[in-house]
Amino acid sequence: MTTPLLEIRNLSTAFPIRRGIFSRTVGHVRAVDDVSLTIGRGETLGLVGESGCGKTTLARTLLLLEKAHGGTITFDGTELTQASPNQIRRLRPRLQVVFQDPYESLNPRMTVMEIVTEGLITHGRIRRREMEGTATELLHDTGLGPEMLHRYPHEFSGGQRQRISIARAIAMKPDLILCDEAVSALDVSIQSQILNLLMDLRERHGLSYLFISHDLSVVRHIADRVAVMYLGRLVETGTAEAIMQQPQHPYTRALIAAIPKAGGPRRDKPLRLPGDVPSPANPPPGCPFHPRCAFAQDRCRTERPALEPCGDDAEGDTFRREVACLRKDEI
């Protein structure tokens, strides 16, 4: 078996909670709590969960924008949390990101040409006089015409801006692109254009994606494997098909049941989750999901379930199904 492109082991990221006039640290919010994940070459991993579950913090930690409090991030054989600034500078171009808000993630004072070639210039990969030719190619690759080169971001619609963000990301010839809610702000007709573009580029350039979204139907469409996050922890992983067709964890089940699906069966009162997601600053003891879980028993309130293989998938299979639930074999 080849080594995966990205391997995360027991990663945790915490933010201090400060109180009072001296801003004393009174505790920590564990935004990402003991998460392990792998992404293979050419593979798309979907990461889903509700707001505040830690998806974005996980992405920011991978980009070294947040400090990891524990665990390792191994990218193509290099351990990022221990890497030297030099090593990081060399690896950074291979790990790119596309953000949710195409209105705030592009510099309004730069032309499209400057935006998409900025990284290449910074890393000395092209000279200034090559900018125009390179930018034209990149725009062509993402479905934009050369007449856009000298325009500014405000002249573009949301969908076109997201194409510019994608052109900027692929300019560095990355191995992995983190898409953080990259299509969530777009209308359906534009969203499908961008999803098609991402799938085309993946095929053409052999890219891997970490595709973060709260929208399970989008994730199901583009991802090979899916990881479901709740309160900073992974509760279930498996192939996109397996997760959508046979969700095992009670949270995944409720999440999938809650998606209104056009043309699907209409239920008067489908499986409902009571209450809100608890505050990550004060997570419940035991299984973090137990206060909202219909299957919770006494031991769920005290014992913390680990992510463990589940079902009859072959041992050692990279696509195996993992579930963090004490009662996974009973329910």
Partner 1 sequence: MPALLDIQHLSVSFKTDEGRVPAVNDVSLTLERGQVLGLVGESGCGKSVTAMSILRLIPQPPGQIDAGKILFHGHDLLPLPIDELRTVRGRRIAMIFQEPMTALSPLHRIGAQLVETLRLHRDLDRKAAWKIATHWLTKVGIADAAERMHAWPHQLSGGMRQRVMIAMALMLDPVLLIADEPTTALDVTVQAQIFDLMRDLMKKDAGLLLITHDMGVIWEMCTHVAVMYASEVVETGPVDAVFENPLHPYTRALLAAIPGNAPPQQRLPAIPGQVPSPLNLPDGCHFADRCPLVFERCRREHPPLYTKDNRFSRCFLAEEANT
Q: Does 270 bind partner 1 (CB under 8 A)?
A: yes
Binders in 206-245 for partner 1, by CB under 8 A: 214-218, 220-222, 240-241
* Shortest Å distance, C-beta 243 to partner 1: 11
When the beta carbons of 49 and 286 are compared against partner 1, the nearer one is: 49
**What value, to the nearest 5°, has the Cα angle with vertex 132 and ends 131 and 136?**
115
Size of the site for partner 1 (CB under 8 A): 46
165 Cβ contact list (under 8 Å, min separation 6): 98, 99, 102, 105, 106, 182
175 Cβ contact list (under 8 Å, min separation 6): 5, 41, 76, 94, 95, 207, 208
Smallest CA-to-CA distance from 174 within 112, 100, 98 is with: 98
What are residue 18's DSSP bridge partners?
25
* Shortest Å distance, C-beta 56 to partner 1: 14
**Order of strands, sheet of 95-98, starting from the edge strand that comes earlier in the sequence:** 95-98, 176-180, 208-213, 44-48, 225-230, 233-239, 322-323, 308-309
As given in the structure block, the two tokens for residue 162 are 């997201």
Binders in 134-163 for partner 1, by CB under 8 A: 157-160
* Shortest Å distance, C-beta 260 to partner 1: 4
Residue in 26, 258, 281, 306 binding partner 1, rule: CB under 8 A:
258
As given in the structure block, the two tokens for residue 96 are 């790119």
When the beta carbons of 62 and 277 are compared against partner 1, the nearer one is: 277
Binders in 95-124 for partner 1, by CB under 8 A: none
When the beta carbons of 131 and 240 are compared against partner 1, the nearer one is: 240
42 Cβ contact list (under 8 Å, min separation 6): 202, 206, 207, 208
Smallest CA-to-CA distance from 61 within 35, 94, 98, 87 is with: 35
What are residue 15's DSSP bridge partners?
29
Q: Which stretch binds partner 1 (CB under 8 A): 5-13, 73-81, 113-121, 185-193?
A: 185-193
Residue in 255, 293, 300, 325 binding partner 1, rule: CB under 8 A:
255
Residue in 83, 110, 121, 195 binding partner 1, rule: CB under 8 A:
195
Binders in 12-71 for partner 1, by CB under 8 A: 50-51
Q: Can you give the binding site for partner 1, defined by CB under 8 A?
A: 50-51, 157-160, 187-193, 195-196, 199, 214-218, 220-222, 240-241, 254-255, 257-264, 266, 268-270, 272-277
